[in-house]
Amino acid sequence: MQTVNLRSEYSKAEKDGGLFDLSHWGCVEIVGADAADFLNRMTTLSFKNPTPGEARAGALLTGKGGPIAMGFFETLATDHFFFFSETWKKALEHLEKFHFAEKLELKHRPDWIVMGCYKPNLETDANKPGLVKPLAWGNFSLSAWQDQKIAGLIWMRMKSDQKEPFLKGTGLSLLSRALFNFFRIRAGIPSVGTELGDTHIVLEADFEWLLDRQKGCYPGQEVVERIFTYGQVNQKVFQVLVRNAASKVPLPLFTEGKQAGELIAYTEDPSREDGKGLGLALIRRAFWETPTFSLAPEAAEKGEVEMVRGAARASAN
């Protein structure tokens, strides 16, 4: 496996941009007369009045509010939708489990993929962050929308057989998965399925932006609304700085000999000159105000992990 020099790659990307191969995000198609109503009952988004030409970030939850899949729901027509997600297999299984007599079809569409285009200093359209725009790039006809959280990232939907010609024909550098993970962690987004599982609660991460609270019921909605109304989560995700490189995650975090949480994501931070890495940590409520943590109960070196205040945090409090 080739080692990525993340610092030099980041510097080049901040100057020239580049492409991310995100074709491992699978596509689930939901199409039929009852498709919109079905998605309205199954997802965290409202589909009462679907608008063709929109792509919105949303999620599928368990009945206890645990994230099964997060990704983008693209509306192609009022009865035709695509869902792109890293955990598309679990998403498809979940939707099929609740598909009974509704007039719709659910299937995997491997002929459609998404790519990412990173454009530094891209201005964000705050009014229409999920607007899908046709994009002509040389001989390629694509659909594209801006990411809501990762600055400078444009998602592009294309046919899978366009991938290799597109990569060769754009003249842009292919950027590594490691750099994409850095941008993701810097934006405070834990990966569902690896860093955050369905035994967690969606509000333990900074995922309120995936929830349409004005809609009706969906799996997990009762748990989510109860937390907003009456209580708070018992742990939540914070962004942290890590002094020494973490060889693997998750890793337990300690303070005064007590376990305070765990480091669930880690990346080298190529934007820093002090050598500190960047991570996401799931911290127990009793330690939310603790400024630093150690990676061992009796660590000789204190403050290996520092909280970054105001970063990734759950909105329910």
CATH of the domain at 123: 3.30.1360.120
- Per-residue confidence (pLDDT) for residue 257, from 0 to 100: 87
Q: Is residue 104 domain-resident?
A: yes
Q: Is residue 128 domain-resident?
A: yes
For residue 41, the one-letter residue type is R
- Per-residue confidence (pLDDT) for residue 3, from 0 to 100: 56
Q: Could you give the CA distance from residue 65 to residue 232 in angstroms, rounded to a whole number?
A: 13
Q: Could you give the CA distance from residue 140 to residue 142 in angstroms, rounded to a whole number?
A: 6
Q: Is residue 64 domain-resident?
A: yes
The pair of structure tokens assigned to 54 is 């929109």
CB 249 within 8 A of CB 264: yes
Judge residue 162's burial from the number of C-beta atoms within 10 Å of its C-beta, 0-12 exposed, 13-18 middle, 19 or more buried. Answer: middle
- Per-residue confidence (pLDDT) for residue 317, from 0 to 100: 36
Residue 262 has, within 13 A of its CA and on its CB side, a CA count of 10
- Per-residue confidence (pLDDT) for residue 313, from 0 to 100: 39
What total of structural domains would you count in the chain?
1
Q: Is residue 232 domain-resident?
A: no
Q: Residues of the chain whose pLDDT is less than 50? A: 1-2, 311-317
Cis (ω within 30 of 0) for the bond into 270?
A: no
Q: Could you give the CA distance from residue 205 to residue 79 in angstroms, rounded to a whole number?
A: 31
pTM for the whole thing?
0.92
Other CB atoms within 10 Å distance of the CB of residue 270: 20
- Kindly report the backbone phi and psi dihedral angles of residue 236, in degrees, each rounded to the nearest multiple of 5, phi listed first: -155, 165
For residue 86, the one-letter residue type is E
Q: Is residue 41 domain-resident?
A: yes
> Domain containing 72: what range?
18-172
Q: Is residue 193 domain-resident?
A: no
- Per-residue confidence (pLDDT) for residue 216, from 0 to 100: 86
pLDDT (tens digit per residue) in 256-304: 889 999 999 999 999 999 989 999 999 999 999 999 999 887 655 556 8
- Kindly report the backbone phi and psi dihedral angles of residue 229, in degrees, each rounded to the nearest multiple of 5, phi listed first: -85, -40
Q: Could you give the CA distance from residue 82 to residue 132 in angstroms, rounded to a whole number?
A: 12
Q: Could you give the CA distance from residue 18 to residue 36 in angstroms, rounded to a whole number?
A: 35
CB 279 within 8 A of CB 305: yes
Q: Is residue 167 domain-resident?
A: yes
What is the average pLDDT value for the chain, to the nearest integer? 91
Give the gyration radius of the chain's Cα atoms: 20
Cis (ω within 30 of 0) for the bond into 165?
A: no
Q: Is residue 315 domain-resident?
A: no
- Per-residue confidence (pLDDT) for residue 316, from 0 to 100: 35
- Kindly report the backbone phi and psi dihedral angles of residue 27, in degrees, each rounded to the nearest multiple of 5, phi listed first: -110, 125
